[in-house]
Structure 1
Amino acid sequence: MRTRTKICGITRIQDINSAVHAGADAIGLVFYPPSPRHVNIEQAQCLLRNIPAYVQVVGLFVNATAEEITAVLKQVPLDILQFHGDESPKQCQSIAQQVGRRWYKAIQVKPGLDVVAEIQKYQQAGASAVLLDAWHPELKGGTGHSFDWSSFPQLDIPLILAGGLNPDNIEDAIHTTAAFAVDVSGGVESAKGIKDQQLIERFMQGVHRGSANC
């Protein structure tokens, strides 16, 4: 089965075009104001007009309330929610039920964390997938750091690999983890929030090679 790919932190129409042309399965929009990749409602609406059918739109939220997410969804028709903060399984489940969207949870792989047990908690709460990202004491994703891929589990839930991925290591990352999907942001940028078409194309080529040889 081929590895799916999400290009996250899109802020410009030309970057959507580059990602779609290269074969990305999903586009990630960041609704977290402290992030340099944050987009507001007006920006998101403009970007969505350039995303074709069969390419999913993922909204990334960090410790947002159901009311805050509902306010976004009234104006931006996101396909799926990515909870990227400290949300508990119960909180994710409750918000998703209130807003009527599928969801998945990003888990930072901290030293000493029982990753399998943590994944299973969110799986039992109804997560469609779980994303494993590198841990950082302050930042919520987009750190450019990776974790030990050899610790990547194999479970009966789609697992997404993130953290420190780039065109030079993505093929090896897929070989090592056999992840259902990969999520990249900084690894295909020329500056924070500014994607590079050539890096996106090289990244997607690496994904295809990795999937073919997995």
Structure 2
Amino acid sequence: MTNYQTRTRIKICGLTREQDVDAVVAAGADAVGFVLYPPSPRYVTPQRAAELAKRLPPFVTPVLLFVNALATDVIAACADMPCAIVQFHGEETPAQCWEASAQGRRPFLRAARIPLGDSGGFDLVKFASDYAKAQAILLDAHVDGYGGGGKTFNWSRLPPSVNSHLVLSGGLTPANVTDGILQVRPRALSLSVDVSSGVEISKGIKDAEKIHQFVAAVRTADAQLAKSHHVHLPAA
């Protein structure tokens, strides 16, 4: 199912500081995430997110994370960030995602909250089908609150084949992301990864060295997959 010639895309989420945005760009990540959910310790206002996003060079994508926000608030927050992708991380229905993404004119991700322990109790195939208009389904551990809990769900319990682009999240670190990619990538059309707490000093404060280590571990997984499938990966 998977195209192994595709480089694993990387998103670093929960950024709050200029130096962290710069560190993510320097490490070679593909996307940066801004949390627009006020209860989160990583929360930034839409205005602050737009200010930080101005530091991004071309081809590094800002992602705006919302939790059960009004469609009007999502659309307003996106107004100053025409290149942003929206991430829905709450209980948003397919219809609500469609409305808040300006009826599909704004690409969006839909987070699937995978139970800890026995992940077999969650029907990911049906979830992906219900949210077929999403650009990808983001897999996160189901913890108290919404995301950023540093918990890893059981990757081996995921379905063997999901007809969707997936983003692996939930408790990823430089130490485990290689294994996560090797386990999950064969199950999807493509796989990206998303990390927040795994590259932090404290909530919302990133560590540049951990970011570089995380990116290096992702590239290690790519190299292993390319070798095992006898393909040549394009230069990053």
The TM-score, its normalising length taken from structure 1, stands at 0.94
From 82, 103, 113, the counterpart of 2:87: 82
> How many residue pairs align between the two structures?
211
Distance 1:99 1:44, change over 3 A: farther
Distance 1:149 1:106, change over 3 A: same
Give the 3-state SS of the residue equivalent to 1:147 in structure 2: coil
Aligned twin of 2:228: none
Aligned twin of 1:118: 127
Distance apart, 1:98 and its partner CA:
4.3
From 97, 104, 108, the counterpart of 2:109: 104
Alignment of 1:170-185 (within 5 A): 170-178=177-185, 180-185=191-196
Alignment of 1:47-66 (within 5 A): 47-66=52-71
From 143, 148, 157, the counterpart of 2:149: 143
In structure 1, give the amino acid aligned to 2:211: I
The C-alpha deviation readout for 1:95-147, integer Å capped at 9, x for no partner, is 22348301110010125221211121101xx11110011111x2100010011
CA distance in structure 1 between the partners assigned to 2:218 and 2:182 by the alignment = 10
In structure 2, give the amino acid aligned to 1:47: L
Distance apart, 1:184 and its partner CA:
0.1
Task: Report whether the alignment pairs 1:168 with 2:175.
Answer: yes
Identical pairs, percent? 44
Aligned twin of 1:205: 216
Distance apart, 1:44 and its partner CA:
1.4
RMSD between superposed Cα atoms in Å: 1.4
CA distance in structure 1 between the partners assigned to 2:21 and 2:203 by the alignment = 15
Aligned twin of 2:24: 19
In structure 2, give the amino acid aligned to 1:62: V
Give the 3-state SS of the residue equivalent to 2:173 in structure 1: coil
The C-alpha deviation readout for 1:139-159, integer Å capped at 9, x for no partner, is 100010011111233323210
What are structure 1's unaligned runs of at least 5 residues? none
In structure 2, give the amino acid aligned to 1:120: S
Give the 3-state SS of the residue equivalent to 2:139 in structure 1: strand
The C-alpha deviation readout for 1:6-50, integer Å capped at 9, x for no partner, is 000011111111111111000101100000111113321220111
In structure 2, give the amino acid aligned to 1:71: A
Alignment of 1:10-49 (within 5 A): 10-49=15-54
